[in-house]
């Protein structure tokens, strides 16, 4: 399979584990389009998944990076941190997604595509 890719359907727990092991052992980098509910996964850098979504019509302002840890307990699997999230002009001065509304949308989208 070629990575990164935009998910069309949820990843099973087995697929999550395999994807995590292929890249980082325990983590999957994800980029979420909070406007359209799209998600791109399977890259060493969030920027690679970001570029794929941009090529497929997503707008930069709606793309946010996170890390997903399939082996962690439910509620602890998402880390809302990525270099691409640093956007001082938009009020996000850190790698961490500071807006609770944006974090909520990222979480909701991830939960659609990652079986728990």
pLDDT computed for residue 59 by the predictor = 97
pTM equals 0.94
Question: Could you say which residues of the chain have pLDDT below 50?
Answer: none
pLDDT computed for residue 2 by the predictor = 77
pLDDT computed for residue 116 by the predictor = 66
Contacts of 109 (CB under 8 A, 6+ apart): 32, 33, 34, 37, 38, 39
> Closest by alpha carbon to 69, among 1, 108, 13?
13
In Å, how far from its chain's centre is CA 24? 14
């Amino acid at each position: 399979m070629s990575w990164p890719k935009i998910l069309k359907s949820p990843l099973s727990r087995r697929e999550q584990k395999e994807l995590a092991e292929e890249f980082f052992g325990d983590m999957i980098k994800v980029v979420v389009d909070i406007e359209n509910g799209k998600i791109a996964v399977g890259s060493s850098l969030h920027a690679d998944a970001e570029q794929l979504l941009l090529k497929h019509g997503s707008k930069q302002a709606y793309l946010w990076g996170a890390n997903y840890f399939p082996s962690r307990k439910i509620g602890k699997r998402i880390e809302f941190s990525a270099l691409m999230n640093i956007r001082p002009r938009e009020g996000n001065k850190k790698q961490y997604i500071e807006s609770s509304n944006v974090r909520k949308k990222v979480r909701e989208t991830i939960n659609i595509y990652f079986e728990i």
